[in-house]
Amino acid sequence: NTDGIHIGKSSGIVITASRISTGDDCISMGDGSTNINITSVWCGPGHGISIGSLGKYKNEEDVVGITVKNCTFSDTDNGLRVKTWAPSSMPVTVSNVTFADIKVNNVENPIIIDQ
């Protein structure tokens, strides 16, 4: 995995005032990520900021309370993404997600939810 930052089964993480340039996700959040606050991050090139992949394995935990604010995406495939597997091995819920004050420059999919 070549993600800039990967978060999983963690709570209360704050990422702020950062520049992340990678060919993969700048930041990815896997199952069990809760109360994550991402602010003032510049991302690109790469895949953007992602929640997932979710639903591939049994006993995955929900993702709750994700905030992404005042971020800039430049030359990325995606800006903000929620990705899941179909069919899922078991249901996983993503809730209380806020995307605000997002800037995109040359981004193919500014916000994408895919399965």
Domain spans of the chain, in order of start: 5-103
How far is 25 from 42, CA to CA, in rounded Å? 12
Q: Given a cut of 90, is residue 86 above it in pLDDT?
A: no
**What is the pLDDT at residue 70?**
98
**Does 47 qualify as catalytic in the annotation?**
yes
pTM over 0.85: yes
The secondary structure of residue 108, as a DSSP letter, is S
> Based on the number of CB atoms within 10 Å of its own CB, is 35 exposed (0-12), middle (13-18) or buried (19 or more)?
middle
**What is the pLDDT at residue 8?**
96
For range 12-35, the mean pLDDT? 96
Span between the terminal Cα atoms of the chain, in Å: 20
Q: Given a cut of 90, is residue 107 above it in pLDDT?
A: yes
**What is the pLDDT at residue 23?**
85
For range 23-52, the mean pLDDT? 96
Catalytic residue among 33, 47, 52, 63: 47
> Based on the number of CB atoms within 10 Å of its own CB, is 92 exposed (0-12), middle (13-18) or buried (19 or more)?
buried
